[in-house]
Amino acid sequence: MDWESIDTYAKKWVKEAGQMIRASFDKTLNIQTKSDPNDLVTNIDQEIEQFFISKIREIFPNHRILGEEGFGDELTSSKGIVWLIDPIDGTMNFIHQQRNFAISLGIYEGGVGKIGLVYDVVHDELYHAISGKGAYMNDKQLLPLKEVGVKESIIALNATWVLENERIDHQLLIPLVKEARGTRSYGSAALEIIFVATGRVDAYISLRLSPWDFAAGAVILEELGGIVTNLRGEKLDYLSKDSLLVAKPGLHEIILKEYLKEGKW
């Protein structure tokens, strides 16, 4: 498979989509809700997903597509080449802040990550990796991640998970929050994984994400020696919703063994 050539197309389309998103800043958005009042979608999320799908179908008609907004294929297996698309990850930020969101595009073969692209549109920063060929921010190569302990680490997680919630006993994560140097929450899973990849934070935890949220970031992070699993320490299957623990090497093991062992994730 000519991954370099697929990567070249993907990068070109991501940049074009970024330009479309920037152009939308001056226009009125059509905002709707999905599963709950805080689960938002705009006409731009939908247009960008459709843009990618029309390009992929034209050049790679045999590839399959899993897109958040539902314009792709219904996938029941990870066979062949699959594009996992989140046209805007961080839609709430896109609507409220016009920043802190990204386009996330992962390309997998047989469930194995081959290409990851996360485009921070507002900063014009394209994070990208082809598996085995290093990870980059624009043309700058990113450095392998170094080990770090909990006391020196910044953990990205949403405050929801340390408040009473439906998914977990909220007490479980409190010791980790207390021991870490600090916590952050940015509202875009794809960017938060990239922040681990670039060392801006040391770990990111979420209780429920979809494959299009983490597929691209995972390829980039693993290329740098970062570890990507669910909160039980298992590999993700890239077709199902799951919890997520991404962290620098060493820290991942400590969080899993010392802080998450009691949980039913």
Q: Using the minimum distance from each CB to Ca ion, give the nearer residue, 99 or 178.
A: 99
Q: Is 150 a residue that touches ligand IPD (CB under 6 A)?
A: no
Partnered with residue 265 across adjacent β-strands are: none
209 binds, among Ca ion, ligand IPD, none (CB under 5 to 8 A by kind): ligand IPD
* Residue in the shown chain whose Cβ atom is closest to ligand IPD: 189
Q: Is 91 a residue that touches ligand IPD (CB under 6 A)?
A: yes
Sole binder of ligand IPD in the list 89, 222, 223, 242 (CB under 6 A):
89
Task: Find the part of the chain contacting ligand IPD (CB under 6 A) among 49-57, 86-94, 164-172, 224-232.
Answer: 86-94
187 binds, among ligand IPD, Ca ion, none (CB under 5 to 8 A by kind): ligand IPD
Sole binder of ligand IPD in the list 42, 46, 100, 188 (CB under 6 A):
188
Task: Find the part of the chain contacting ligand IPD (CB under 6 A) among 117-125, 128-136, 183-191, 247-255.
Answer: 183-191
Contacts (CB under 6 A) with ligand IPD, residues 17-76: 68
Tell me which residues touch ligand IPD (CB under 6 A).
Answer: 68, 86, 89-91, 158, 187-189, 206, 209, 213
Tell me which residues touch Ca ion (CB under 5 A).
Answer: 68, 86, 88-89, 213
